[in-house]
Amino acid sequence: MKIFTLLFLGFAAVGCGSSTTTVDMAKTGGGADMTVVSACGHPGDTGNSKHIGQYCRTAKDCPMTDMGSLLCSSLENTVMPANQQTFFCTTTCPKAGPDPTNCGENAVCQCQAALGACGCVPTACVAGLDK
């Protein structure tokens, strides 16, 4: 698991734009503030037909698919600045670019050359990289 975590370190940060969105989910009954700061992945996001891009806080929030368990990009958030943290379901993929087999529609495979790791990222998160 430690190696797998290292493979994803940085991939979501590169795959997601630098814009930060704050979603105020409102305080309930004097409890903790449930504000979510996320560079990619927001409460209510359903993802595509393969659930890539579905909002998650932990891997338990990501469903099993015909290709196995999905991961939550939040697994690397402990080493990321708050404005680069992400919350979406993802899986590994073999090479950068469109990957309908692994990533499905509205998602692409993004790779982290330094780590030799690739993962599926919602296209809405990579749009800022083309500018």
Instruction: List the domain boundaries for the chain.
Output: 2-21+35-130
pTM of the predicted model over 0.85: no
Residues 88-126: tens digit of each pLDDT: 999 999 999 999 999 999 999 999 877 778 999 999 998
Mean pLDDT of 17-25: 44
Beta strand ranges found along 1-131 (DSSP E): 21-23, 36-38, 64-65, 68-69, 71-72, 89-90, 97-98, 107-112, 117-122
Is pLDDT above 90 for 13? no
Q: 69 falls in which pLDDT band (50, 70, 90)? A: confident
Non-local CB neighbours of 28 within 8 Å, separated by 6+ positions:
34
Q: 26 falls in which pLDDT band (50, 70, 90)? A: very low
